[in-house]
Structure 1
Amino acid sequence: MKKLLIAALALTALVACDKKESDKNLHLSGKVEGLKQGKLYIQHIVDTSLVTLDSITVEGDSNFKSELQISEPEMLYLTLNRGVSKSIDNVLPFFAEPGTMTIETTLKEFYAKAKITGSKNNDLYSDFMKIRMRYNDEQNKTLSLSLLAKKVNNAQKLDSLNQRADKLTVRNYLDAINFAVNNGKHEVAPYIALTEIHDANIKYLDTIQKSMSPEVAKSKYGKQLTTFIAERKKLEQTQN
């Protein structure tokens, strides 16, 4: 009888553990190659501050796991505490969504070498950032040439390069707007509008808002975009 009671209690505890684990809807695992000792933090932004959702101590094993509960797709940040290192490559943003996700990266190139799977929103965000990086490279090249033209006092060349920079900026904004409109069924669309092109003409932000699916419109970033547009319209009306 005593053995049966112990077995029943053990089974109850096991079921309770399973239930507790099932309460978490984001199952995150990964590896930071080369990391033997340190600490990883999974964080999100609340108001304007980074708030830690989970912390993981790494001692000898570069693999890590985390179980989180998120109400909807959201941009999270995997932050690495390198200890005495002065590296600024310590923060890896990733667009999390309920389900199973993996993050594989390296200690040496924590951000640049990251491979993230398991999130459609993150796949789309990664595609967008590749486009954005190409524009940034072009803008940096144009700026370097402009500085050289200014140094040698070549006004004609400088004017041409300034026009090129302006055109790149317009194309950059238009591509971001089109990307958000074409992906209105995903939460990454309002996120891009808020973080990358918040100062675009209000009519373009309106277009992005109208392209959002009902589900996305009700999401965290969908609501934030709707509020932001309303506040900008009110501000612009008072200034006119």
Structure 2
Amino acid sequence: MKKYICAFAVSGLLLLTACKKDTSDYNLSVNGKVEGLKQGKLYLYKVQDTVFTAIDSVVIKGNPSFNFNLTIDSPEMFFLTLDRGHSKSIDNQIPFFAEQGNIEINTTLKSFFKDAKILGSKTNDVYQEYLQTRTLITNRQNDLLIEIFNAEKENNQQKADSLYVLNKKLKARLYLNAANFAINHNDSDVAPYIALTELYDRNIKYLDTIYNNLTGKVATHKYGQQLREYIEERKTK
């Protein structure tokens, strides 16, 4: 099932596969403003058939406002991406969970990702809640890496070994946090998405538990179905 893993791991990849706009009735509007952006291009990406795909774009000339209209069947992860031209900045992408309705994204050119404010998606609110719990652990991991580096620089191997053990425990805690969050939010499409992106290489029992715990509605949605297919494929290996 590597094709799923690769597809979900391309948040920073700019593999352009353009698609024509659907002329059917739209049920999702994504609009907002990039303060400070006078000229440039914004893309809307999603993972489609395991490929990171540009599904729409808008050219900004003077007016920093933008709008995308599209149709989705269930909550889905999208990526609002700014083309900065020849700039080497990597601050050019905002991932967000979209759902049917109107979603507003306001940000700035200076801090495109950090300043992003996303309104109108309860699913995205749940996803942001998960990211906050995850950040608490990853921040501690980053601090540990610095401590390990300093310990090794001082040739204090005993201290370094102790920190390595703690870091291993934090890594396990990171996976456990993801699993617990998914199980406790079984009525959100964030649950199967976390399983596919954060727990795909864990013991199959975790994936089974998450999938079997999903509400009927979520299980029939895009990520619920993909999780079921992924579990079935892993069990056949």
Of 177, 195, 198, which residue of structure 1 is paired with 2:197? Answer: 195
Q: Structure 2 CA distance, aligned partners of 1:93 and 1:213?
A: 25
Name 1:25's counterpart in structure 2. Answer: 27
Q: Deviations over 1:186-220 (max 9, x none)?
A: 11110011011211221111111111111111111
Partner of 2:97: 95
Code of the aligned partner of 1:210: N
Give SS of 2:163's match: helix
> Which ranges of structure 1 fall in alignment gaps of 5 or more residues?
1-19, 236-240
Secondary structure class of the residue paired with 1:61: coil
Residue among 39, 42, 50 paired with 1:40: 42
Q: How far apart in 2 are the matches of 1:232 and 1:36?
A: 48
Shifted more, 45-54 versus 134-143: the winner is 45-54
SS at match of 1:157: helix
Alignment-mate amino acid for residue 173 of structure 2 = R
Calculate the aligned-residue CA RMSD, in Å.
1.6
Higher relative contact order (Cα pairs below 8 Å, separated by 6+ residues): 2
Instruction: For residue 50 of structure 1, report the CA deviation from its aligned partner.
Output: 2.1
Say whether residues 1:83 and 2:85 are aligned partners: yes
**Map of 1:59 onto structure 2:** 61
Query: How many equivalent pairs are there?
Result: 216
2:19 aligned partner: none
CA distance in 2, matches of 1:212, 1:177: 13
Task: Give, as a single letter, the amino acid of the residue that structure 2 aligns with 1:131.
Answer: T
Determine the C-alpha separation between the residues in 1 that align with 2:75 and 2:39. Answer: 30
Q: Which amino acid in structure 2 is aligned with residue 212 of structure 1? A: L
The aligned runs of 1:29-178 (5 Å cut-off) are 29-178=31-180
Q: Which runs of 4+ in 1 moved over 4 A?
A: none
Q: How does 1:205-220 map to 2 (within 5 A)?
A: 205-220=207-222
CA distance in 2, matches of 1:48, 1:66: 22
Structure index of larger Rg: 1
Q: Distance in 2 between matches of 1:137 and 1:113?
A: 19
| 2:51 counterpart letter in structure 1 | S
Q: 1:221 aligns with which of 207, 220, 223?
A: 223
AA paired with 1:119? S
State the identity as a percent: 51
- 1:8 is matched with none
In 2, Cα distance between equivalents of 1:211 and 1:113: 35
Q: The residue matched to 2:180 in structure 1 has which SS?
A: helix
- Secondary structure at 1:194 match in 2: helix
CA shift, 1:22, in A, is: 8.7
In structure 1, C-alpha distance between the alignment counterparts of 2:142 and 2:110, rounded to whole Å: 25
Instruction: For 1:39 and 1:185, locate their aligned partners in 2 and report how far apart those are by CA, in whole Å.
Output: 36
The structural deviation recorded for 1:126 is 0.9
1:233 Cα deviation from its structure 2 partner: 2.3
CA distance in 1 between partners of 2:211 and 2:52 (Å)? 27
Question: Per the alignment, in what secondary structure is the counterpart of residue 104 of structure 1?
Answer: strand
TM-score when scaled to structure 2? 0.86
Structure 1 letter corresponding to 2:222:
K
TM-score normalized by the length of structure 1 = 0.85
